[in-house]
């Protein structure tokens, strides 16, 4: 294996054996531009017609309302009216999976704990036809402003933005569902080359703190979807086990994985997508808080 930091190579080999080399190749692959249709503003048919008129070649991705663009750069897609009007949202395919696990519905109170730049927040808003009450947290002031911009552009009006570290929210907050797309080492992405033990340790401290807070704010019978763009078990299924122990009931979510995505071994009912030329490495788990 070449290209990744030595410590990350060691961790991948320890976790996945011979598949560690496959993971490295996937991390360093150049992925095409992908986007999803913003169903708050447009239909898939409308977007397909607009792409054809602009001479942009596309194909369906295997994820509902999501497309892969071939022969065009991201900058070209940004020049289209469908992008400028918020009818599409450019997003990696793997990062579209957590909202399918959370299944946002009208009338539900949902917290997005680390929301910026807003891809999953706006996706949940669209999946609920704009009728879920979503609270979106972002601790960075700059990123919070970007989040607000994207929410407005996408027409996701029923979203309340809080510029605050979600782990410090008041104890009075209670939610039906919580999405925690946690800060992580990025070991399943093109950023894996920046991996360091210090980065991993810092991310794991943050993950523990956020998971603990999420469980505190989740109502009994509520759902927590936890995700990262890491393939390291210590940030994923092992992290959940260490923080929550046997307090959580896991729901099977293998049905959210497209047929063209490859999986890595992980705990039962959870999903770890193997990075390749189309998907980033990604972990998703759906947990229910017992009544």
User: What number is the average pLDDT over the span 186-210?
Assistant: 96
User: What number is the average pLDDT over the span 227-254?
Assistant: 97
Kindly tell me if the per-residue pLDDT of 221 is higher than 90: yes
Kindly tell me if the per-residue pLDDT of 280 is higher than 90: yes
Whose CA is closest to 221, among 290, 286, 175, 174? Answer: 290
Query: Residue 44's pLDDT band (boundaries 50, 70, 90)?
Result: very high
- Write the pLDDT tens digit of every residue in 125-143: 999 999 999 999 999 999 9
Kindly tell me if the per-residue pLDDT of 2 is higher than 80: no
The pTM (predicted TM-score) of the whole model is 0.96
Kindly tell me if the per-residue pLDDT of 198 is higher than 70: yes
Domains of the chain, each with CATH number or no CATH: 33-90 (3.30.70.1170), 94-288 (3.40.50.150)
203 is catalytic: no
User: What number is the average pLDDT over the span 215-228?
Assistant: 98
Q: Which pLDDT score, from 0 to 100, does residue 171 have?
A: 87
Let me know: does 127 contact 134? Beta carbons within 8 Å.
no
DSSP of the chain: --SS-HHHHHHHHHHHTTHHHHHHHHHTS-PPEEEEE-TTT--HHHHHHHHHHTT-EEEE-SSTTEEEEES--HHHHHTSHHHHTTSEEE--SGGGHHHHHHT--TT-EEEETT-TT-HHHHHHHHHTTT-SEEEEE-S-HHHHHHHHHHHHHHT--SEEEE-S-GGG--TT--EEEEEEE-----TTSGGGGG--HHHHHHHHHHHHHHHHHHHHHEEEEEEEEEEES---GGGTHHHHHHHHTTS-EEE--GGGS-TT--B---STT-EEEPP-SS---EEEEEEE---
Query: Residue 24's pLDDT band (boundaries 50, 70, 90)?
Result: very high
Average pLDDT, the chain: 96
Cβ of 111: how many Cβ atoms within 10 Å?
28
Kindly tell me if the per-residue pLDDT of 1 is higher than 70: no
Query: Residue 17's pLDDT band (boundaries 50, 70, 90)?
Result: very high
User: What number is the average pLDDT over the span 139-157?
Assistant: 97
Query: Residue 160's pLDDT band (boundaries 50, 70, 90)?
Result: very high
Kindly tell me if the per-residue pLDDT of 110 is higher than 70: yes
Choosing from 184, 229, 266, 274, the catalytic residue is 229
């Amino acid at each position: 294996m070449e290209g990744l930091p030595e410590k990350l190579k060691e961790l991948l080999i320890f976790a996945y054996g011979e598949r560690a080399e496959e993971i490295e190749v996937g991390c360093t692959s150049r992925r095409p531009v992908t986007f999803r249709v913003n169903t708050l503003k447009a239909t898939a048919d409308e977007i397909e017609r607009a792409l054809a008129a602009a001479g942009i070649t596309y194909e369906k991705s295997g994820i509902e309302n999501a497309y892969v663009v071939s022969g065009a750069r991201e900058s070209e897609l940004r020049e289209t009216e469908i992008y400028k009007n918020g009818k599409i949202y450019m997003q990696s395919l793997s990062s579209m999976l957590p909202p399918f696990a959370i299944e946002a519905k009208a009338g539900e109170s949902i917290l997005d704990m680390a929301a910026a730049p807003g891809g999953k927040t706006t996706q949940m808003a669209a999946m609920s036809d704009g009728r879920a009450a979503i609270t979106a947290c972002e601790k960075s002031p700059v990123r919070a402003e970007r989040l607000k911009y994207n929410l407005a552009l996408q027409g996701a009006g029923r979203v309340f933005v809080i510029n605050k570290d979600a782990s410090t929210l008041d104890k009075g907050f209670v939610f039906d569902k919580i999405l925690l797309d946690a800060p992580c080492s990025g070991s399943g992405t093109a950023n894996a080359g920046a991996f360091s033990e210090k980065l991993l340790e810092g991310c794991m401290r943050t993950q523990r703190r956020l998971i603990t807070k999420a469980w505190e704010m989740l109502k009994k019978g509520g759902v927590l979807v936890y995700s990262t763009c890491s393939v390291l078990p210590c940030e994923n299924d092992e992290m959940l086990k260490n923080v929550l122990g046997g307090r959580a009931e896991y729901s099977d979510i293998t049905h959210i994985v497209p047929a063209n995505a490859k999986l890595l071994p992980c705990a039962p009912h959870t999903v770890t997508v193997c990075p390749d030329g189309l998907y980033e490495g990604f972990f998703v788990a759906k947990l229910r808080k017992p009544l």
